[in-house]
Amino acid sequence: MDGTSSTTAWGDPPALYDIEADPKEFDDLAHDPKHASTVADLQGRLLSAWDPEAIEEQVLQSQRERLLIERAAGLS
C-alpha cells in the first residue's frame, strides 16, 4: 500500500488509512489483519525515533515550570 497515513497518540490504538483511496480517512485499516505488518512496521519506526514516555515527562515538566512561574509572578 503506497499512500498510507498513520496517526496515533500515546496510549491510543493505532490508525491506518489509505489516503489515495480514502482521502477523508473514513476507513481505518489498522485492525484489518491484511495490514498488520504495515501497522507494526510504522509503530516500530515511530518508537525507534521517539520515546513517548520521555516526551510526556518533558511536557509535564514544562507545564509544572510554567505554572510555578505564573504563580510566582502572580499571574494565576
Q: Which three cell numbers stand for residue 50?
A: 521517539
Domain ranges of the chain: 4-72
Q: What distance, in Å, lies between the first and last C-alpha atoms of the chain? A: 50
Please give the chain's pLDDT, 76 residues, in tens.
Answer: 556 655 555 678 899 999 999 999 999 999 999 999 999 999 899 889 988 889 999 999 999 999 999 999 887 6
- DSSP letter at 30 equals T
Q: Which residues pair with 17 in a beta bridge?
A: 5
pLDDT given at position 52: 85
**The residue count for the chain:** 76
Exposure string over 46-62, b if 16+ CB within 10 A, otherwise e = eeeeeeeeeeeeeeeee
Contacts of residue 68, Cβ cutoff 8 Å, sequence gap at least 6 = none
pTM as predicted: 0.61
pLDDT given at position 3: 61
